[in-house]
């Protein structure tokens, strides 16, 4: 099964998937939105339990789920519910309006620091509700960072309102922390052992904050340290992408 992003031709996506399955091409950070699975896989993963991992801040983008909200009422209803709740906390602002922008403004879009977590949280919950509405059974719910709040809502431990209020207040508390810079995060794909060595030479604090998979991780730290490592990655052919995070 292949899920193809809207900005890629099916022919191109299938060709890349074939290369990956044949071991001729390594997964690449820019290939987000391309997922594949072969039911002939000896592990028979499709017969096992289903787990959902809700991401934290970083994957948000302009007009996130806007098209889906027009196609599936449950998405639109979830957004409307969240907008009503968020307006009572944020001076009347609607949460969806912080990332739904005119097409001509997409290139310059940047999610505001105070709403980044809440936006991803809302997308997580809306997509979960859509999945469940289509009868998909989920056995395990997990959350990464701010995604933990979405997992709690999905499990029924928190209501949407309680989860949204908690994530927004958490964000405001972080923003109010003292300091001239909140640092930055960068996603790295490549030789992480080499990255660890370069981190030790950085002029300011930076660390490998997460190792998501072999050859793929996240570095985080002070601006100068992270920028030093990012420049090194660019010069040595490692993929590096600055994540749109508030801290």
pLDDT by residue for the chain (247 residues), tens only, comes to: 555 555 556 677 677 667 766 665 554 444 455 455 677 878 787 788 888 999 887 777 888 899 889 999 999 999 999 999 999 999 999 999 989 988 888 888 887 888 889 999 999 999 999 999 999 889 999 998 889 999 999 999 999 999 999 999 998 888 887 766 678 899 999 899 999 999 999 999 999 998 888 888 999 999 999 999 999 999 999 999 888 776 7
- Burial of 226 by CB count in 10 Å (0-12 exposed, 13-18 middle, 19+ buried)? buried
The dihedral region occupied by 188, where left means phi > 0, alpha psi between -120 and 50, and beta the remainder, is beta
Q: Do 232 and 219 touch, CB atoms closer than 8 A? A: no
Tokens of 206: 């930076």
Helix, strand, coil percentages in the chain from 3-state DSSP, rounded to 5: 45, 15, 40
Gap between the Cα atoms of 185 and 12, Å rounded? 30
Could you identify the residue written with the tokens 């403004």? 105
For residue 174, the number of C-alpha atoms closer than 13 Å in the C-beta half-sphere is: 18
DSSP, collapsed to helix, strand or coil, labels residue 9 as: coil
DSSP element (H, E) containing 220 = strand 216-221
Gap between the Cα atoms of 240 and 219, Å rounded? 10
Give this prediction's pTM. Answer: 0.70
Gap between the Cα atoms of 202 and 188, Å rounded? 16
Sign, CA torsion 10/11/16/17:
positive
Q: Which of 183, 170, 49, 180 is nearest to 120 (CA)?
A: 170
Tokens of 208: 């490998």
């Amino acid at each position: 099964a292949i899920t193809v992003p809207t900005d890629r031709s099916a022919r191109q996506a299938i060709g890349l998937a074939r290369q990956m399955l044949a071991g001729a091409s390594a997964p690449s950070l820019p290939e987000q939105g391309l997922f594949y699975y072969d039911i002939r896989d000896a592990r028979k993963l499709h017969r096992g339990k289903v787990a959902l991992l809700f991401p934290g801040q970083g994957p948000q983008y302009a007009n996130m789920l806007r098209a889906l909200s027009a196609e599936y009422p449950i998405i639109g209803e979830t957004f409307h519910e969240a907008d009503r709740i968020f307006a009572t906390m944020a001076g009347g602002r609607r949460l969806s309006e912080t990332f739904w922008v005119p097409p001509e403004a997409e290139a310059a879009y940047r999610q505001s620091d105070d709403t980044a977590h809440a936006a991803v949280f809302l997308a997580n919950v809306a997509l979960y509700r859509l999945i469940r509405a289509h009868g998909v059974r989920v056995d395990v719910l997990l959350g990464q960072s701010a995604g933990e709040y979405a997992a709690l809502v999905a499990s029924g431990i928190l209501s949407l309102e309680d989860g949204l209020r908690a994530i927004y207040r958490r964000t405001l508390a972080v923003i109010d922390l003292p300091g001239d810079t909140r640092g930055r995060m960068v996603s790295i794909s490549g030789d992480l052992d080499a990255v660890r060595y370069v981190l030790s030479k950085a002029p300011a604090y930076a660390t490998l904050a997460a190792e998501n998979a072999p050859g793929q991780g996240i570095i985080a730290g002070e601006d100068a340290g992270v920028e030093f490592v990012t420049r090194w990655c660019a010069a040595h052919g490692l993929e590096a992408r600055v994540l749109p995070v508030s801290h």
